[in-house]
């Protein structure tokens, strides 16, 4: 008897005897103590990501329980399953190297196991993009749930939140303004609850993007991790996933060119993380959607920054939630948005936004007519140093450095950087441009090394910001006049590899350009000497280096991105 593939009957490996395969699977399922009647029901898988190496997912067990409650209440059977979990600060050489591994794990486990829909629970920086990439490719009905942000801590009357304040305090410590005892006390006050970083870093930016794409339930991106409403959101996500089984709506219906552009608007309006540009390119790339950097700049020039959170402004994610969250922001951005996009419940964005705001805290979410800045937080750059593009977070930079020309002080890699940056004899002046090579996706997994420290000697003399350029990323919680994601990267022979100490470099945010002021023939001559590092012989790192794409393609693997992306 060939049952309708539902629940446990999905993907039965039958070797010619379907009934035996079904009998065998049911027997083993019964060993989990599930009644025969429950095994007839449709199944909602729950991709869970708890880990002793992921503080941001500390609340995972209660989220899984709440999702399960919602699934059961809707007449389906919840089945949690683990996938790779990526705790941002615990991974060496960088979590970014493992995002694609998690995306593959997520896709394959959704596809290989018997389920009719899935709830994906993630939170920390790389986890939500990995889950959305995997879900987009698996194309089973899916609902994203985020773990939610941390609450702030307190130190001598000051609110602290990971991790913009981590950087600010560490900067003061390096400059000698904070002593060892105080920095030790601060260490225990920066990250004080379960949940993701408390500012508009990568995790929070990706949560806002997931909600704008339509992949989470509306209103759920910013609910703090420890808030009761976070568990209600989990319960509702379980119900929604069960509901999707009948509607058959999949990520392919929800993530469209229009919803990706809406998500980019939100990224720009929150002054969000530069990392989100890479992650969104990877998610969209799974579905053949590519937004050129020229379009990105058009969006940036029309989209005001409206949200006043660290690292760009003052508030924290708990304030954003209390202020009205993503819904309130979307209502402000309404004139710029595509309103026919749908969310996981099949509801049009226009319908959602027709509902009035309950209340908006204008200190945190400005009105469209009274923005923090008239233009978006990020801008893409081109030029002979970045023929395929680079990213600059103007919202977190020093405006007086927007038009800069300076002498290059070059570090040839991460080791060279850590060896020499604090050398008291380093020949560096405040108006120099710090250049880091060989920290791109191919060379190094694209670590968050683009936030080069200000050389100690200059920091102690009071220098707070300098132009820094690299093919690396920077943390979403960081700030400064920093050119990132230079493509092609130095290790594969991009022009960044041709920069030498003492060359002049010009940055112009007005012209959206980054140029090496060296003759073309000389750049070419220097690049002929370039040799890319070899591919490791075994394991995941070998697969990684053979397959990773550059930043404009989201650093996805070539065999996972949609080959027809246009």
Question: Quick one: tokens of 59?
Answer: 């609340």
Nearer to Mg ion by Cβ, of 42 and 129: the residue is 129
Rule CB under 6 A: say whether 196 interacts with ligand FES: yes
Least distance (Å) between residue 477 CB and ligand FES: 7
Candidate segments 4-12, 194-202, 232-240, 376-384, binder of ligand FES by CB under 6 A: 194-202
Spatial separation of the C-alpha atoms in residues 288 and 137, rounded to whole Å: 11
Count of chain residues binding Mg ion (CB under 5 A):
5
Question: Quick one: tokens of 427?
Answer: 């020949």
Question: Quick one: tokens of 98?
Answer: 């493992």
Rule CB under 6 A: say whether 197 interacts with ligand FES: yes
The closest alpha carbon to 77, from 2, 3, 10, belongs to 10
Rule CB under 6 A: say whether 505 interacts with ligand FES: no
Rule CB under 6 A: say whether 226 interacts with ligand FES: no
Distance of CA 487 to the CA centre of its chain: 19
Rule CB under 6 A: say whether 212 interacts with ligand FES: no
Continuous segment of H or E residues that includes residue 109: helix 96-112
Nearer to ligand FES by Cβ, of 53 and 359: the residue is 53
Spatial separation of the C-alpha atoms in residues 101 and 91, rounded to whole Å: 13
Residue 412 CB neighbours (<10 A)? 16
Output the CA torsion 412→280→320→244 (10° steps).
-150
468, β-bridge pairs? 434, 482
Residue labelled with tokens 């009071």 = 462
Spatial separation of the C-alpha atoms in residues 13 and 99, rounded to whole Å: 30
Q: 294-299 contacts: CB < 8 A, separation 24 or more? A: 294/380, 295/261, 296/264, 296/378, 296/380, 297/379, 297/380, 297/512, 299/261, 299/264, 299/265, 299/268, 299/376
Least distance (Å) between residue 473 CB and ligand FES: 14
Candidate segments 36-44, 185-193, 471-479, 552-560, binder of Mg ion by CB under 5 A: 471-479
Task: Rule CB under 6 A: choose which of 48, 59, 101, 124 binds ligand FES.
Answer: 124
Helix axes 60-73, 228-247, angle to 10 degrees: 40
Question: Quick one: tokens of 467?
Answer: 């132009």
Candidate segments 193-201, 259-267, 308-316, 499-507, binder of ligand FES by CB under 6 A: 193-201
Rule CB under 5 A: say whether 475 interacts with Mg ion: yes
Spatial separation of the C-alpha atoms in residues 6 and 536, rounded to whole Å: 43
Least distance (Å) between residue 88 CB and ligand FES: 4
Q: Among residue numbers 34 through 73, which ones bind ligand FES (CB under 6 A)? A: 56
Q: Are 496 and 507 in contact (CB under 8 A)?
A: no
Count of chain residues binding ligand FES (CB under 6 A):
9
Task: Rule CB under 5 A: choose which of 202, 216, 438, 550 binds Mg ion.
Answer: 202
Three-state SS for 285-354 is: HCCCCCCCHHHHHHHHHHCCECECECCCCCECHHHHHHHCHHHHHHHHHHHHCCCCCECCCCCEHHHHHH
> Is cis: bond before 359, omega within 30 of 0?
no
Rule CB under 6 A: say whether 89 interacts with ligand FES: yes
Least distance (Å) between residue 203 CB and ligand FES: 3
Least distance (Å) between residue 345 CB and Mg ion: 30
Candidate segments 11-19, 141-149, 320-328, 473-481, binder of Mg ion by CB under 5 A: 473-481
Candidate segments 66-74, 194-202, 316-324, 353-361, binder of Mg ion by CB under 5 A: 194-202
Site string for Mg ion, 17-56 (x = CB under 5 A): ----------------------------------------
Spatial separation of the C-alpha atoms in residues 203 and 128, rounded to whole Å: 8
Question: Quick one: tokens of 185?
Answer: 């006390």
Those residues with Cβ within 8 angstroms of residue 298's Cβ, 6 or more apart along the chain or in another chain: none
Nearer to ligand FES by Cβ, of 196 and 341: the residue is 196
Whole-Å CA distances, 544 to 109, 450, 539: 20, 21, 9
Task: Rule CB under 6 A: choose which of 48, 77, 203, 555 binds ligand FES.
Answer: 203
Rule CB under 6 A: say whether 261 interacts with ligand FES: no
Candidate segments 71-79, 201-209, 259-267, 296-304, binder of Mg ion by CB under 5 A: 201-209
* Contacted entry of Mg ion, ligand FES, none for residue 475, CB cut-off 5 to 8 Å set by kind: Mg ion
Least distance (Å) between residue 125 CB and ligand FES: 5
Nearer to ligand FES by Cβ, of 90 and 402: the residue is 90
Rule CB under 5 A: say whether 125 interacts with Mg ion: yes
* Contacted entry of ligand FES, Mg ion, none for residue 196, CB cut-off 5 to 8 Å set by kind: ligand FES
Candidate segments 41-49, 115-123, 202-210, 389-397, binder of Mg ion by CB under 5 A: 202-210
* Contacted entry of Mg ion, ligand FES, none for residue 190, CB cut-off 5 to 8 Å set by kind: none
Rule CB under 6 A: say whether 116 interacts with ligand FES: no
Nearer to ligand FES by Cβ, of 84 and 518: the residue is 84
The closest alpha carbon to 198, from 68, 43, 23, 321, belongs to 321
Least distance (Å) between residue 196 CB and ligand FES: 4
**Residues that bind ligand FES in the complex, under the rule CB under 6 A:** 56, 88-89, 124-125, 196-197, 201, 203
**Residues that bind Mg ion in the complex, under the rule CB under 5 A:** 125, 201-202, 475-476
């Amino acid at each position: 008897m060939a049952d309708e593939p539902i629940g446990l009957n999905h993907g039965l490996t039958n070797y010619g005897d379907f009934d035996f395969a079904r009998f065998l699977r049911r027997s083993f399922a019964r060993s989990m103590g599930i009644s025969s009647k429950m095994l007839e029901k449709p199944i909602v898988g729950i991709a869970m990501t708890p880990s002793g190496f992921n503080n941001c997912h500390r609340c995972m067990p209660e989220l899984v329980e709440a999702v399960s409650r919602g699934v059961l209440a809707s007449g389906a059977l919840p089945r949690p399953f683990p996938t790779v979990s990526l705790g941002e600060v615990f991974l060496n050489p960088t979590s970014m190297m493992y995002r694609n591994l998690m995306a593959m794990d997520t896709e394959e486990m959704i596809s290989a196991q018997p389920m009719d829909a899935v709830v994906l629970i993630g939170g920390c920086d790389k986890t939500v993009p990995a889950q959305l990439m995997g879900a987009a490719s698996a194309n089973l009905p899916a609902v994203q749930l985020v773990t939610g942000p941390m609450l702030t801590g307190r130190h001598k009357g000051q609110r602290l939140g990971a991790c913009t304040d981590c950087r600010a305090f560490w900067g003061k410590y390096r400059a000698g303004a904070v002593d060892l005892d105080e920095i030790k006390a601060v260490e225990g006050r920066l990250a004080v609850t379960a949940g993701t970083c408390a500012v508009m870093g990568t995790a929070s930016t990706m949560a806002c993007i997931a909600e704008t794409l339509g992949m989470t339930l509306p209103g759920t991106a910013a609910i703090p991790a420890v808030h009761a409403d976070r568990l209600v959101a989990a319960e509702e996500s379980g119900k929604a996933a069960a509901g999707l089984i009948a509607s058959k709506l999949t990520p392919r219906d929800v993530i469209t060119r229009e919803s990706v552009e809406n998500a980019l608007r939100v990224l720009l309006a929150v002054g969000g993380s530069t990392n989100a540009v890479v992650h969104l390119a990877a998610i969209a790339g799974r579905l053949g959607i590519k937004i050129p950097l020229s379009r990105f700049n058009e969006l940036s020039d029309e989209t005001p920054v409206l949200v006043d959170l660290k690292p760009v402004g003052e508030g924290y994610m708990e304030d954003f939630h209390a202020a009205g969250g993503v819904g309130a922001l979307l209502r402000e951005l309404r004139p710029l948005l595509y309103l026919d996009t749908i969310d996981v419940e099949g509801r049009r964005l226009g319908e959602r936004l027709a509902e009035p705001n309950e209340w908006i805290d204008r200190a945190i979410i400005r009105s469209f007519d009274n923005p923090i800045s008239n233009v978006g937080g990020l801008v893409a750059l081109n030029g002979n140093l970045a023929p395929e593009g680079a990213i600059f977070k103007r919202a977190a930079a020093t405006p007086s450095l927007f038009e800069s020309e300076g002498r290059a002080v070059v570090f040839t890699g991460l080791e060279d950087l850590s060896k020499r940056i604090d050398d008291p004899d380093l020949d560096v002046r405040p108006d120099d441009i710090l250049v880091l090579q060989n920290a791109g996706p191919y060379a190094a997994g694209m670590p968050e090394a683009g936030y080069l420290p200000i050389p100690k000697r200059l920091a102690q003399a009071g220098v707070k910001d300098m132009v820094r350029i690299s093919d690396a990323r920077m943390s979403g919680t960081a700030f400064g006049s920093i050119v990132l994601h230079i493509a092609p990267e130095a290790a594969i022979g991009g022009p960044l590899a041709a920069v030498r100490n003492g060359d002049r470099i010009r940055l112009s945010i007005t012209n959206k350009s980054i140029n090496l002021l060296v003759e073309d023939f000389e750049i070419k001559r220097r690049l002929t000497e370039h040799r890319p590092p070899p591919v490791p012989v075994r394991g995941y790192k070998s697969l990684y280096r053979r397959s990773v794409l550059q930043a404009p393609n989201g650093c996805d693997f070539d065999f996972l991105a949609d080959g027809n992306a246009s």
